[in-house]
Structure 1
Amino acid sequence: MPSQNDTQLRQWAMLRRIPQQPRQITALELTGRLESEGFEVSKRTVERDLHSLSGIFPLIANDRSRPYGWSWSKDAEAFALPAMSPLQALTLELARDHLSALLPASLLGTLAPYFKCADGVLSSGDGVKKLAGWRKKVAIVPPNQPLIPPDYPDGIIEAVHSALLSGQQLEISYASREQGETKTYPAHPLGIVQRGAVTYLVATLYGYTDIRLLAVHRIRSAQVLDQPAKAPKKFDLAEYIRQGAFGFEEGGEIKLAARFTAPAAEHLRETPLSPDQRIEPDQAGWVRVEATVPGTAQLRWWLLGFGDQVEVLDPATLREEFVAISQSLHGIYHR
């Protein structure tokens, strides 16, 4: 049986969707709109609610038409009803689950009351239990080996988000993994990207225009500066990623040719490497795959993951890399 909260949420949603005369809406149309927002309700229940609410609010039923059309009286005062539909609540819950690392900390704080309201809506009663259970029926599974995300102080990510949101420079102390030392310099934030377990700040340093990827967990301190950040002319984060930046980039596009065992290449028929991908039969049990792809480290990791089920053919430089890797592996396993 629906709870009192469930009934109240449904009736608020109904009142917000009833138009003012001369426009009107039928009980059947209202039922459809409520169902599309996640309420489980019958036409009979909507009709019963309408008759009940018309004794409290200035609602008019046009009994000259069949089915009845319902409206707010044309002289009724306009007022807003606080309400969140189950669908809106579910969307907020999923956003909190999956986008927290990409939303500015200040914005998350502002959204806290809405998250609390969403929790209340999805636990309000039987009328929304199917939609409330949706979170338990969907999941995102990483395609590679899951890793535990690195820790970083809340103050670091808050400063990064604040500088990015306000378009200000950021003074950071950064521990370089390659150089093994911590340096302090001004950064011009361009974007935040989450790649697997690691969050990266995309930025330029000092007055240079070359773009750097800075792992947020290696930032030891961060302070927003008064100076405005400057972005390279025509920089676009989406285009930067599309060109293979998080591959990580090593060169431009290459024409890849590789021999795969037929089972290993089967998924490429459904999820191709590129629009121009071609798969042709090769020797028994093998196929030849050709595609134009970014020549990134990510591509190399992906190919290495197939082990002895792939042979790189072209370009020649990539084949030479894999020959060297295979010889090194042979030496390691035959000591």
Structure 2
Amino acid sequence: MAKRSSTQESLAFAFELLKRIPRSGKGKVTALELQQQLECIGIQRDIRTVQRNLEMLCEHFDIVKDDRAKPYGYSLKTESEGLALPLMSPQESLLLSLAEDYLQNLLPKNVMASLYGFFKAARNNLSPSEGNTKEREWLKKVRFVSETQPLLPPKVEDQVFSEISKALYHNRWLDIEYTNGKQEDKKSEVMPLGLAQQGSRLYLVCRFKGYNNERSLAVHRINKAVCSTFNFDRPVDFNLSKYDNDGRFGFGEGNQCRVEFCITKKVGFHLLETPLSEDQTVEELDSHYLITATVIDSMQLEHWLRGFGDDIWNVIKIKK
């Protein structure tokens, strides 16, 4: 593939800057903020280069530079067409707004940064000044509800998450410093294979260098992360969906078991609506149900069963 010329590189860089400059009345952006946004998608430039390009763009486009105080802020004149994004319908804006809220920890940082213009346009389309009252109100009518006691999410350092996302996206080795479950500080080189959100926590699925098995590390326990310049070949035998289905996030090893138990009708009725498995059977007796199902044997299963207290009895597990 032919290398891009310096002119092409300059044009591409200017384009990336321009599409991140908001319209007047919708806020403004500084050179440093633009530099950080571009770093998230892999474009590395020093602050002086960003500033010089902004000065050049101000000469050729309807860009307002607020130089009343440093750092200077930049915005497009309201009447300027700039680099217009495709006009989104209110329904598309609604979908993008929901996606931004619920996928921000599951999409790579550089992908989120590259979608910044679309997310911002969606928010603007749903602003009070644009009308779209029904769509704007819909955001207040839907909510994800936790099945367990809600917990505040642990703090994840932006730099750590950015480096993890970069390494995962580009299939590069990752150098980490982390605190394990025994409160011991460790340093390791890992092969990042996947990210998973479980409740309020985010987990990195990875392989430690020199090993062929996968482990899940709580991202908030990673104190430092540096994306390496060395790539790896993603293991063909790893599948994140299978890893989940094997109960690995529930502290299982992928082993199935046949579980049988008695449960009171009042507490166990929901299992008739939401079965444990496709092969679940239910025998209805006078005061309780006798339920059998094939499930993954894990600590999560044990915790779930114990949670019913005296409403569950005669629990039998048979390994398959």
Assess same fold via TM > 0.5.
yes
Quote how far apart the aligned CAs of 1:109 are. Answer: 2.1
Contact 1:209 1:232 (8 Å CA) reproduced: no
What displacement does 1:250 show? 4.7
1:204 to 203, 207, 232: 207
Q: Does 1:107 align with 2:111?
A: yes
Is the CA contact 2:195–2:205 (under 8 Å) kept in the aligned structure 1? Answer: yes
AA partner of residue 126 (structure 2): L
Q: In 1, Cα distance between the equivalents of 2:121 and 2:289?
A: 55
- Residue 208 of structure 1 aligns to a residue whose secondary structure is coil
CA distance in 2, matches of 1:301, 1:230: 37
Matches of 1:157 and 1:83, distance apart in 2: 32
Distance 1:81 1:177, change over 3 A: closer
Q: Aligned partner of 1:216: which letter?
A: V
* Counterparts of 1:270 and 1:103, CA distance in 2: 33
SS in 2 for 1:235: coil
Partner residue, 1:299? 301
2:289 matched residue in structure 1? 287
The answer to whether the Cα contact below 8 Å between 1:243 and 1:294 also exists between their aligned partners in 2 is yes
Paired with 1:126 and 1:189, the residues of 2 have a C-alpha distance of 43
Give, as a single letter, the amino acid of the residue that structure 2 aligns with 1:261: T
Match of 2:89 among 78, 85, 89: 85
Deviations 1:295-325 (A, max 9, x none): 11111111111111111431279xxxxxxxx
User: 1:254, CA displacement in angstroms?
Assistant: 0.6
TM-score, structure 2 length as denominator? 0.70
| Structure 1: segments with no counterpart, 5+ residues | 1-79, 318-335
User: Aligned-pair distance for 1:229?
Assistant: 2.7
Amino acid at match of 2:88: M
Give distance in 2, aligned partners of 1:113 and 1:289: 52
Instruction: Confirm whether residue 156 of structure 1 aligns to residue 171 of structure 2.
Output: no
Deviation at 1:186, TM superposition (A): 0.7
Structure 1 contact 169–189 (Cα < 8 Å) conserved: yes
Tell me the C-alpha RMSD between the 2 structures. Answer: 1.8
**Residue 233 in structure 1 maps to residue 236 in structure 2:** yes
Structure 2 distance, partners of 1:176, 1:133, is: 44
1:81: Cα distance to partner?
Answer: 8.0
Partner amino acid, structure 2, of 1:295: D
Aligned pair partner of 1:214 in 196, 214, 217:
217
- Structure 2 counterpart of 1:161, one-letter code: S
Deviation string, structure 1 residues 244-282 (Cα, Å, up to 9, x no partner): 111121561110000000111101111000001011023
Question: Which segment drifts farther, 201-210 or 229-238?
Answer: 229-238
Is the 1:173–1:220 Cα contact (8 Å) retained in structure 2? Answer: yes
Deviation at 1:219, TM superposition (A): 0.6
Alpha-carbon separation, structure 2, partners of 1:158 and 1:202: 16
The answer to whether the 8 A contact 2:124-2:130 is kept is no
Q: Matches of 1:81 and 1:205 in 2, distance apart? A: 43
Contact 1:188 1:230 in 2 (8 A): no
- 2:97–2:122 Cα contact (<8 Å) kept: yes
Give the equivalent residue in structure 1 for 2:24.
none
Once residues 267 and 184 of structure 1 are traced to their aligned partners in structure 2, the CA distance between those partners, rounded to angstroms, is 45
Alignment of 1:70-219 (within 5 A): 82-123=86-127, 128-178=132-182, 180-219=183-222
What TM-score do you get using the length of structure 1 for normalisation?
0.67
Structure with greater Cα Rg: 1
AA in 1 matched with 2:238? F
Contact 2:175–2:228 (CA under 8 A) maintained in structure 1: yes
